[in-house]
Structure 1
Amino acid sequence: MVEIVLYGYFGKGNLGDEALREAWSRALAEVGQVVAFAPPRLPHGETVIFTGEPLQDRTSRRSLLFYAAAIKAAVGRGKTVLGAVGVDVRSLLGRWILPRILCDVDYISVRDPLSREGLRLLGVDAREARDVALSLDPPTGTHRGPVLLNLTPSLPPEARAAALDFAREAATRLGRPLKGLVMARGEDEQALVGLELIAPRTVDEAREVIGGATLAVGARLHFLEFALICGTPFVAVPYAPKVNAFLALVERDLPHGIPRIPGASVRDTLE
């Protein structure tokens, strides 16, 4: 049986990345033996699949440089795949590096049209595929639980304040408690100060909590994806292009747009 190396930001306390590991591992179980690798270890194996958002320098240019080195190392040892990844490269250095690194990758798919267009402008061909976390099974939630709020420290203060005000008013109108949900341990807590926190330790636990919520108000991509697969009504606080790209995909099949903060009215949203 072939060994498949799954490479991503695993084991760092981010439930979005853990969801990717879980979903990819399930999908590939019948194909081969799946082994997960994470930075700072470089990947090596017959087949390496990169997941998540390795092609970005929004949070750090060093991150992109490291992943470029990791992709180069994988290409030199076997088949290399970028599986439904996100792309958000802003620096001139990053745009110079990517075409030179990706030209030897065996297969590239991206999770949204925005990522595909970003690579196209760099002369890199890629197919579009949905984020594999969306393939996870939904729990059987009652949607009678609290209003959940998920925020990230990178949000501008005014956006955080607007989201908190919205969530508090929505919780009051719905007669439900308001609780903060931590998707990335060691990060989200900073943006949810003053709230009672729920910090799931597993992907299944996070989906159960979100599936039981009355309303989800949040920023992180996989928080919103979990709300979608759980059938929980949600309001988005877009903090990065990838979130707007996800919302655009969802809105293709909706008669109305998804409420966004700032801008959304609690009254109009709940009606």
Structure 2
Amino acid sequence: MRSSNPTRLVIRRRDFLAGTAVLLLGATRVRAATIAGQLPWTPNAGEPPSRAKLGPWEFFTGDEGRAMEALADCIIPPDAETPGGKDAGCAVFVDRQLAGPYGRQEGLYVRPPFQVGTRTQGPQSEKGPAQAYRDALGALDRACKAKYGGKPFADLPSADKDEALKGLERGEFKLEGVDGRSFFEQAVKDVQMGFFADPIYGGNRDMVAWKMIGYPGARYNYLDWVSRHNERFPLPPVGITGSAQWTR
């Protein structure tokens, strides 16, 4: 109901706004006191992603795992300063992804019709990533045995591995029932992802990739360094789960 006294309405609004301001200021003081006494967060609060478990393969067979490790080392070779894709855990990263929701295509439309889409439409295959990897790694070993005297990909000399992968990239080294070029492109992306992802997912072991590029990781904030340009950040990188030295 509209008030018959406009002056009274104005006073009431002013009283209401003044009271709201007091409440807000009071709430701000309470929050500030809390922040001064203790940081407004607790370790491992909420629902952080589950850490990838160390141990045997969860998706790959033994032969598939060896082939994937060899692929990872070809894509990211080791050098004197940084481990390669295998020792950085890239094959473990791919294995855990294929054993999880990504490999099971959770949240994706998986009913026909299945058609070849454009590059911007993403994968359109009926198989999904897990079956695609299984078929491709098996086909790669069979093709290598046929061409290189019965040796699977993982047992080839480095020069022959490079030759096989260059053939896949150019579309010249054919895999039975598998698009070798598409598989190679996907493997490169997945190995790169495992190399630079947070270690919680199984790759980037000991944060070797972050240390290599000087990335400080998932620290709480960088306010002290926002305006400091062309300076190397002096602290070691930190992952989603923090640093081992912070755990009691």
Report TM bin, short chain.
under 0.3
User: Which structure shows the higher strand fraction?
Assistant: 1
TM-score, normalised with respect to structure 2: 0.26
User: Which structure shows the higher helix fraction?
Assistant: 2
- Larger RCO, structures 1/2 (Cα 8 Å, 6+ apart): 2
TM-score, normalised with respect to structure 1: 0.24
